[in-house]
């Protein structure tokens, strides 16, 4: 079953993420990705993460596919104009890469070459619409016919919040209208916030229109937890989790245990279709967390 098959069948999925290396050696990517095979339902391949050059995302996604790992290709609007992005969409379809995650991308001044020029020719919603029309109509703007077939499963990003009175999910609704079928979120390590967010999506009538994958992390230390909370826009890491990390005799093991327990809670939460497990500077924890969490999810969801 593909990622889309599992989500449409109501399975609770777990995706993970790899950042392609700053390397021209194939083995350097596979060393990061192969431990996830058979554990993650799909693996994101980031596109110029941190506004820095890496092995190209499209190439990396094709390498994962060849190794039996279902990729989710991230495409950012920062580095390429619409012509280049449309070419990448056709290339992905030709390679059999179906899962796409459309992102804006970090500003160039966040990276190590701040003088680089950001392109931002189109926004993520326009890119989603382009991918949808290529798949459903076989056309590129402006209605140019394209041979062949695309089977895209289109995703976008989201930031769960503890919704205040009167809040409406207008941003997410706009992405759904543009073609998004699933979303992966920023880190949200608070199951209560997720439950209240999902309840508000249900009230707004869009919960059944999207597969929601909540971003979680096996935290490595209290320092990294605080940095993610304070520096990564939209991240939610409660103070009690930071305190647990500070008090732990083995913070990395504690971070993995917190992540596994949270995944089990999320598997019980209505409206949550799965989790997206990211481990900045801690990729070695991913296989352990996925393996332990899968055992618990099977008990919860069957």
Domains of the chain, by residue range, sit at: 1-158
Going by pLDDT thresholds of 50, 70 and 90, the confidence category of residue 75 is: very high
% helix / strand / coil in the chain, to the nearest 5?
45, 15, 40
Going by pLDDT thresholds of 50, 70 and 90, the confidence category of residue 299 is: confident
Q: Is it true that domain 1-158 has CATH number 3.20.20.220? A: yes
> What average pLDDT does range 245-271 have in this prediction?
97
* pLDDT for residue 38 is more than 80: yes
pLDDT in tens, 209-225: 999 999 999 999 999 99
CA dist., res. 53 & res. 79, Å (int)? 10
CA dist., res. 16 & res. 92, Å (int)? 20
User: In this structure, what token pair is assigned to residue 117?
Assistant: 């020029």
Residue 180: the pLDDT is: 98
Predicted TM-score (pTM) of this structure: 0.96
Going by pLDDT thresholds of 50, 70 and 90, the confidence category of residue 258 is: very high
Going by pLDDT thresholds of 50, 70 and 90, the confidence category of residue 298 is: confident
CA dist., res. 45 & res. 101, Å (int)? 9
Residue 110 is classified by DSSP as G
* pLDDT for residue 302 is more than 70: no
The CA–CA distances, whole Å, from 137 to 94, 141, 209, 224 equal: 16, 11, 21, 46
Closest CA to 102 of 88, 113, 116, 117: 88
> What average pLDDT does range 28-39 have in this prediction?
97
CB 18 within 8 A of CB 44: yes
């Amino acid at each position: 079953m593909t990622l889309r098959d599992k989500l449409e069948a109501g399975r609770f999925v777990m995706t993970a993420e790899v950042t392609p290396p700053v390397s021209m050696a194939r083995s350097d990517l596979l060393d990061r990705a192969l431990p996830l095979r058979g554990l993650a339902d799909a693996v994101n391949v980031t596109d110029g993460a941190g506004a820095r050059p890496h092995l190209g995302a499209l190439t990396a996604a094709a390498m994962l596919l060849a190794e039996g790992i279902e990729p989710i290709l991230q495409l950012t609007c920062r580095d390429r104009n619409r012509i280049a992005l449309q070419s990448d969409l056709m290339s992905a379809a030709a390679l059999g890469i179906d899962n796409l995650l459309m992102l804006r991308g970090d500003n160039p001044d966040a990276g190590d070459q701040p003088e680089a020029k950001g392109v931002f020719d189109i926004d993520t919603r326009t890119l989603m619409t382009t991918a949808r029309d290529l798949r459903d109509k076989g056309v590129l703007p402006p209605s140019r016919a394209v041979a062949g077939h695309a089977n895209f499963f289109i995703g976008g990003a989201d930031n769960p919040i503890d919704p205040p009175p009167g809040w409406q999910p207008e941003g997410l609704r706009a992405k759904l209208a543009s073609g998004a079928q699933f979303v992966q979120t920023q880190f949200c390590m608070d199951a209560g916030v997720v439950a209240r967010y999902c309840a508000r999506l249900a009230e707004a009538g869009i919960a059944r229109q999207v597969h929601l994958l909540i971003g979680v992390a096996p935290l490595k230390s209290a320092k990294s937890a605080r940095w993610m909370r304070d520096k990564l826009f939209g991240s939610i890491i409660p103070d009690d989790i930071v305190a647990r990390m500070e008090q732990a005799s083995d913070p990395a093991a504690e971070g993995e245990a917190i992540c596994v327990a949270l995944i089990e809670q999320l598997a019980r939460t209505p409206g949550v279709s799965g989790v997206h497990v990211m481990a900045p500077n801690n990729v070695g924890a991913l296989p352990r967390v996925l393996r332990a969490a899968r055992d618990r999810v099977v008990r919860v969801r069957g």
